[in-house]
Structure 1
Amino acid sequence: FFFVSLCAGPEQAIRVGLPSLFSMMFRLPCFVCSANSFTTRSMVPYGSLYRIGFRSCVQKSKRKRKPRYYWHSLDNQRDFFDQFAQKHDIKQPSDWKHIKYRQVKEEGGESILKLYSSLFTALKAIYPEHEWDVQQTRKQIPNNHWKSPEKQREFFDLFARKYNLIHPSDWSKVTYQQVCQEGGRSILSHYKSLFAALENIYPEREWDLKTTRKLLPAGYWNKLENQREFLDRFAQQHNINKAEDWKHITYQQLAESGGKALLNRYPSIYVALTQIYPEHEWDVKSVRKQHPNHHWNSVAN
């Protein structure tokens, strides 16, 4: 328009330039809103954008934002979950078992879930009047849930009540697999054995491995302190106060008391005693009635 005005004068500019200018203005490329995406159509009249409902699509796409810190209010969180529960026919805590984290997130609860470590934690905080059991409420236990000693103790308390386990010796009837089947596999993965788990979770109780577990953990007798602990307990039970008192103890007695696997590591009781109690002076004649096999094969003996 300005070029024509300069070259040909105002009259030619009005007669030739203005129509060209208006033609360009109303035939610009634009975006047309389709059902699922935006597609480009070139040379579509600008006014057609309104005819296809572009403005309404943009308005619908705008998300309604809540005021800042809106979801920090426990009442607002509860309102959201009340509506969610009503929509999905959730009437008791166990009904939440089939609800996924992503489902709550997609329905507008993302900002709430960000305030908690898991959906289960959120439910416990928002509905403290209910009794929440993570195994009944969630199909998948939240990450790091069982790292907490309180959660571990809570699980074993429920387990003990279910199977009427009152005394430490009652746990001798419980198998490792049984605890796993009840949902305790993740807890046991933090310990070398079920006995080690019980010792750490209930430190105020006196745990005796022989009365608590039928099957000892693998490699238990490899440790000298475990061997010594067993013989200390045996000596206390049989009133053994000095080295000579071991003279009346038989191999069968030790084996029946649970020391067979221990004795299998040594050629005789005498050798076991000398290895486990090196601070004592052991005389085979005063300690044993019968000399160990191959005792006299040694030149020193």
Structure 2
Amino acid sequence: MKALDIEAVQAFVLVADLASFTRAAEAMESTQSAVSLRIKRLEDGLGRRLLERTPRRVRLTAAGQIFLERARMLIAAHGEALDAFASVRRRLVVGISDHAVGAELPLLLQRVKRVEPGLLLEVRVGSSRDILVAFDDGALDAAIVLGHDAGRRDGEVLLTEAFGWMAARDFAHRAGDPLPLAAQAESCNMRSMGVAALDAAGIAWTEVFVGGGVGTVAAAVSAGLAIAVFSRRVAPPGSADVGPVLGLPMLPPRDLVLYASLSEPAARQSLKTFVAAIRSTAA
């Protein structure tokens, strides 16, 4: 058997981790067809089918599951060899809006670490406003925020977030009572979005929980205390959009926007991997 093509092995690992040829191609700054060809040649060389491809999903075959862990070890060893004489460890500092990350964050970090095992990744979570200020001040390599400033054009749209009125599945609301809301402080854009929609629709509401962060608001929703505005992508586990059932107004979508200032090719590549992992959570 011929020596394995390291880029083909990397492509296989990326497709397995991101469950998408498109996202893997994005992370590798390549095309979907080129990634498919690399993996096909890898499969031919191994004499095994590694991936099952369908129009809607990609999954590992039994042989692919066996090969995956070995492939990860090979990629890690390759990265260590390349970094053997590096004087400074690669570092990427990313700020993310607290409304853009949720229970999927551990999975996101796991996917990035598997592909970039030698990367020192620093993630800061905060309000979109604070994250953008930190980026403009040079404290961040990249910022991923919800696009509220229509006048700012220097970012890249990663995906469009759809929002809903999220509540625990067993949440009960008595008709005629004000809608119980959970939110962050008055400066929170999600709170402002929800309150403006309710006021415009003439729906009475009352704030029953004020959180010190998105995590605390999510806890209030999971506990059945109230309804809160969340992106459907990162809504609390076990919650559901009760807007249609309760006749609540539709909420406007928001773009998730990337702002980056990176000149080093290796750092840009690491950011590509991170962004591809975020986009894969919307699949």
**Same fold, TM-score > 0.5, yes or no:** no
Q: Which has the larger radius of gyration?
A: 1
Q: TM-score, normalised by structure 1?
A: 0.21
Q: Judging by fraction of residues, say which structure has more helix.
A: 1
Q: TM-score, normalised by structure 2?
A: 0.22
Q: Judging by fraction of residues, say which structure has more strand.
A: 2
